[in-house]
């Protein structure tokens, strides 16, 4: 059995490193999202596996309310949730374009794409980023320590300072909650 205390200590060390390595980029990303929300632009989310779950979770937080359900809805869509589109498109054309095709149809200038990949090398996410940029959307990337192929493709990249997938995912969740909390507070005038 793994040493539970050691796992928790590892997680704490990554989050402590995030204070130095990620705070500035989290603040920049939050401001991009705030600007979009205040001008009625959409925030789109994509990722695979655990990152897909994060996309759904955070889109729901913005649409429904993280702290307050008494504020206006913030237009936020997880591109991971339309199973009919994803399965049909992947079957007929390929999995690599499941996000780019949706961004082609839904994305508009000034919208924001939040692209999540622990490795930074997910081909379907990279293609989504390329399509978002071609549509004059802002791009925020959440990835791991190296950033992978996605490292330099965004307006701002939040690289969690770890090579361990679990610790990266935990860091993503923290950063994503901070982003959503910041947007909600700004919309509510706090």
Domains held by the chain: number: 1
Predicted TM-score (pTM) of the model is 0.96
Tell me, what CATH number does 43's domain have?
3.40.50.10490
Residue 108 CA, chain-centre distance (Å), reads 18
Q: What is the mean pLDDT of each run of 10 residues along the chain (190 residues)?
A: 91 97 98 97 98 97 90 95 97 97 98 98 98 98 96 96 96 98 90
Res 117: pLDDT: 98
Query: Does residue 15 lie within any of the structural domains?
Result: no
Asked whether 180 and 66 are in contact (CB, 8 A), the reply is: yes
Res 70: pLDDT: 87
CB atoms within 10 A of CB 13: 13
Rounded-to-integer distance, Cα 30 and Cα 142, Å: 13
Query: Does residue 56 lie within any of the structural domains?
Result: yes
Residues in the chain: 190
Query: Does residue 1 lie within any of the structural domains?
Result: no
Query: Does residue 6 lie within any of the structural domains?
Result: no
Query: Does residue 161 lie within any of the structural domains?
Result: yes
Query: Does residue 172 lie within any of the structural domains?
Result: yes
Q: 161 CB contacts (<8 Å, ≥6 apart)?
A: 14, 17, 18, 21, 22, 145, 171
Which two structure tokens, joined as six digits, stand for 103? 């961004």
CB atoms within 10 A of CB 6: 9
Res 20: pLDDT: 96
Query: Does residue 171 lie within any of the structural domains?
Result: yes
Domain span holding position 85: 29-187
């Amino acid at each position: 059995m793994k040493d539970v205390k050691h796992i928790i200590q590892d997680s704490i060390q990554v989050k402590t490193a995030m204070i130095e390595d990620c705070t500035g980029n989290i603040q920049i990303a939050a401001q991009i999202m705030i600007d979009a929300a205040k001008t009625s632009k959409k925030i789109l989310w994509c990722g695979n596996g655990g990152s897909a779950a994060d996309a759904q979770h955070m889109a729901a937080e913005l649409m429904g309310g993280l702290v307050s359900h008494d504020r206006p809805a913030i237009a936020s869509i997880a591109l991971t949730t339309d199973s009919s589109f994803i399965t049909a498109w992947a079957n007929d054309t390929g999995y690599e374009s499941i996000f780019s095709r949706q961004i082609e149809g839904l994305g508009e200038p000034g919208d924001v794409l939040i692209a999540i990949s622990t490795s930074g090398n997910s081909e379907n996410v990279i293609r989504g980023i390329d399509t978002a940029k071609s549509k004059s959307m802002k791009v925020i990337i959440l990835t791991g320590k190296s950033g992978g192929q996605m490292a330099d493709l965004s307006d701002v990249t939040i690289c969690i300072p770890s090579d361990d997938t679990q610790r990266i995912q935990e860091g993503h969740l923290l950063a994503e909650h901070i982003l959503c909390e910041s947007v909600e507070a700004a919309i509510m005038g706090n």
